[in-house]
Amino acid sequence: MSPVTLIRGANASVTNLLPAVSNVTVGFSWTVVQSNGPATEVVACAIVCGQDGKAVSGEHVVFFNQMLSPDEEVAYDPDGSLPGGDLEQIDVSLAKIPSNVMSIALVLYVNPDLRTPGTFDGVRDAVVRVLDRSGAEALRYEIETKDVGSTSAVVAAELYRRGNEWKFRAVGQGYAGGVRDVAKNYGFTL
Amino acid sequence: MSHPLSPAPGGRSTVVDGFLRRRPPRRPVAANVPAATKLSLNPAAAAHEPAPRDAAASYGVPRVQAAGHLDAAHPMLALTRLQSAVGSLQVVVDGDAAGCDVLWELDDNRQGSLDRVPLDAGRRPLVSPDKTPGFVLGLRHAQALRRVVFWFPGATTVSVVLLDGTVVRCDHPMSVLAVYQLEGELFLRYDADDYADVSEVRAAYGF
């Protein structure tokens, strides 16, 4: 089966593409443009959201320093050991997701260090994709980094519930205020 | 996948290489290595105990809320996992910043001071002087930290500013601010002992 490539705003059914799969891997990859100064440091995270579209709590933001959501349905893979070879990987157990969770936002942000943090101007080839546990790619979205270059956070995509299905939407929404604005939008405190 | 800035092969080490690991250590497999010792004697009950998520609560240390305050009566505060790993921590010194120093220790036991700080994977120093005056501690690789000790021989007040602008005010006469990383959470500790010089701080903190 050839993977489905989405453009911004498009969606596809994960449930239909991977009907027998209860665990999917969300893989993130990107390339940081080399420079002589400090490098842009990109972080991948997943925000588990309730019916209001907001993070269920601050503990539902899964990233390298909070590797497991409270119900263990979303797990950050600390060493990229899942098949696929992505730079960062997040494991989503669709079967474990509680009924109050309606979506999972998949975010890349530039770490807002006070010392020349950079923006997505310094990032190329950013991709988010969905794989099964064997590493076979089902969906991919190549983020238009030129369109979000001046921003420092991007909601790349979301997994969302539609009836009995889980779907994947390519979002590609940049946030000029970076992860602070993402936190404000999704209702959690940094 | 190995990172382009990974340690040099052959075991040669530099001041930077241990800190350059981009990924935190691998999580142990739960089936073989328990994440924590279960407290229940009843195996069925123990199986349902959640893994500890809140190190601050485990140690009875209050969290920084809208603002924080450290003094002799309230010597410790804890940051959340988000506060501990997003952005950077700004330590603002009010008063004479001359003579201030920083001692650091990484998870791999390497130690140093302000004149010998490692670079992280983003090629930023672990901690660097700030123009405010004060210091900036990068948090992207906070999991590789064990502790950072700031010594302020001539400061009147010191403030710690978090990413969202929350200020933790440290009462005079704090001489040392110690920052510990434990289970992904940063703990701030107030110390008002009178150290004559940085060598006394080193001795007191085991550097």
User: What residue ranges do the domains of chain A occupy?
Assistant: 4-186
Rounded CA-CA distance B159/B134 in Å is: 9
pLDDT score of B28: 44
Task: Give the distance from residue B198's alpha carbon to the nearest chain A alpha carbon, in angstroms.
Answer: 27
pLDDT score of A3: 87
pLDDT score of B131: 84
DSSP H helices, chain A, are 14-17, 179-186
ipTM comes to 0.93
Nearest by Cα to A17 from A105, A131, A161, A94 = A131
Q: What is the token pair recorded at A23?
A: 């665990």
Nearest to A111 among B81, B87, B164 (CB): B87
Contact: A65, B23; criterion CB under 8 Å: no
Across the A/B interface, how many CB contacts are shorter than 8 Å? 92
Mean pLDDT, rounded, for A80-94: 89
Contact: B164, A190; criterion CB under 8 Å: yes
pLDDT score of B169: 95
Residues of B with CB under 8 A from a CB of A: 1, 23-27, 51, 53, 80-88, 90, 121-124, 128, 130, 136, 138-140, 142-143, 162-164, 184
Residuewise pLDDT in 10s, chain B (207 residues): 443 333 344 444 444 444 544 444 444 444 444 444 444 444 444 444 444 578 898 889 999 988 899 999 999 999 999 999 999 999 999 887 788 999 999 999 999 999 888 888 888 999 999 988 999 999 999 999 999 999 999 877 899 999 999 999 998 888 999 999 999 999 999 999 999 999 999 999 999
Contact: B138, A113; criterion CB under 8 Å: yes
* Partner residues linked to B113 by β-bridges: B103
pLDDT score of B83: 96
Could you give the angle at the alpha carbon of A121 between the alpha carbons of A119 and A122, nearest 5°? Answer: 80
Indicate the pTM of the whole model.
0.85
R_g of chain A, CA atoms, integer Å? 15
Instruction: Kindly write down the DSSP assignment for every residue of A119-168, as one continuous string.
Output: -GGGEEEEEEEEE-TT--EEEEEE--TTTTTT-SEEEEEEEEEETTEEEE
Report CA-CA distances (Å) from A63 to A70, A76, B192: 13, 6, 36
Residues of A with CB under 8 A from a CB of B: 37-41, 43, 58-59, 61, 63-68, 70, 78-81, 85, 87, 111-115, 179-180, 188-190
Nearest by Cα to B189 from B168, B161, B207, B203 = B168
Taking 50 as the threshold, does the pLDDT of residue A34 lie above it?
A: yes
Nearest to A113 among B23, B24, B87 (CB): B87
Q: Taking CB atoms and an 8 Å cutoff, what residues of chain B touch A39? A: 121-123
Q: Which of B5, B64, B92, B124 is the mutation pick for testing A, counting most A CBs within 10 A?
A: B124
Q: Give the CB-side neighbour count of residue B126, counting CA atoms within 13 A.
A: 30
Q: How far is CA A21 from the centre of its chain?
A: 19
pLDDT score of B46: 42
Rounded CA-CA distance A28/A40 in Å is: 16
pLDDT (tens digit per residue) in A45-65: 999 999 999 999 999 999 999
Task: Using DSSP bridges, classify how beta strands B176-182 and B111-113 pair: parallel, antiparallel or unpaired.
Answer: unpaired
pLDDT (tens digit per residue) in A5-33: 999 999 999 999 999 889 999 999 999 99
Task: Give the distance from residue B185's alpha carbon to the nearest chain A alpha carbon, in angstroms.
Answer: 9
Task: Using DSSP bridges, classify how beta strands A137-142 and A4-6 pair: parallel, antiparallel or unpaired.
Answer: parallel
Backbone conformation region of residue B153, classed left if phi is above 0, alpha if psi is from -120 to 50, else beta:
alpha
Q: Which CATH class is domain A4-186?
A: mainly beta
Contact: B124, A63; criterion CB under 8 Å: no
Contact: B143, A112; criterion CB under 8 Å: no
